């Protein structure tokens, strides 16, 4: 049976802000913004506090090898150590999975519009396991709101022409969040959250930058893009 596939989202904070609002995320206090680089001076330009970071990078043999090594090393980390983790069962849906991972793990800081897609989705899937959550997103039960139309509309926005649903796209999104003093990477293609070390709410961005630098060195790649969900400056 052919895997269901969507048009991928562009790694663009404006696209994400519009998409998130459409799904019911209240962005009156927070918004997605670009992280322009990993140097200290550039990181300081990002408003604080940062709730989460979305990373987009090309999948290569080197990144896949690094991921497999991390999966083995993090074998004791379980999905219960984060508030919300789900599997990706739809091709090119990693941007949407990333957005859901962010919202699901920042529920205390974020507000959802009542009866919106996000409100209904998290209420319906809170007690499901990661695989069942992914299946619910792919094939929602009768009467449940579907995210597919909103995703496809968001995927048509941005600065570049979107590829087709069946086009082989090698770009992938993952999320970094802080939970219980640990920096966790959430990737719906992988079996569990990845513990990347200690962090705090105030150092999440800097600690994520450190992980990304190591990732770039390990994979011999500087082709990545970071977007932060951060407080709106008054």
Which active-site residues does the annotation give?
Answer: 94, 172
CB 35 within 8 A of CB 42: yes
Nearest to 199 by CA among 8, 9, 52: 52
Nearest to 122 by CA among 150, 101, 151: 101
Determine phi and psi for 205, rounding to 5 degrees.
-65, -45
**What are the tokens at 136?**
């619910």
CA angle 158/13/83 to nearest 5° reads 125
CB 26 within 8 A of CB 219: no
């Amino acid at each position: 049976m052919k895997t269901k596939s969507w048009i991928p989202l562009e790694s663009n904070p404006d696209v994400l802000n519009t998409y998130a609002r459409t799904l019911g995320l209240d962005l009156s206090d927070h918004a997605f913004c670009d992280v322009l680089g990993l140097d200290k001076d550039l990181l300081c330009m990002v408003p604080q506090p940062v709730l989460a970071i979305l990373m987009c990078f090309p999948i290569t043999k080197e990144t896949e090898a690094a991921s497999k090594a991390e999966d083995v090393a993090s074998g004791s980390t379980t999905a219960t150590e984060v508030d919300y983790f789900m599997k990706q069962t739809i091709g090119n849906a990693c941007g949407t999975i990333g957005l859901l991972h962010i919202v699901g793990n920042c529920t205390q800081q974020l507000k959802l519009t009542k009866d919106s897609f996000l409100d209904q989705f998290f209420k319906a899937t809170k007690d499901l396991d990661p695989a069942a959550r992914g299946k619910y997103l792919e094939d929602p039960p009768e009467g449940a709101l579907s995210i597919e139309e909103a995703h496809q509309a968001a995927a048509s926005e941005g600065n570049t022409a979107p590829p087709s649903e069946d086009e082989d796209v090698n770009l992938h999104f993952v999320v970094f969040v802080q939970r219980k003093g640990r920096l966790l990477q959430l990737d719906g293609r992988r079996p569990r959250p990845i513990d990347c070390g200690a962090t705090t709410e105030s150092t999440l961005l800097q600690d994520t930058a450190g992980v990304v630098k190591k990732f770039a060195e390990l994979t011999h790649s500087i082709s990545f893009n970071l977007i932060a969900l951060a407080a709106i400056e008054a």
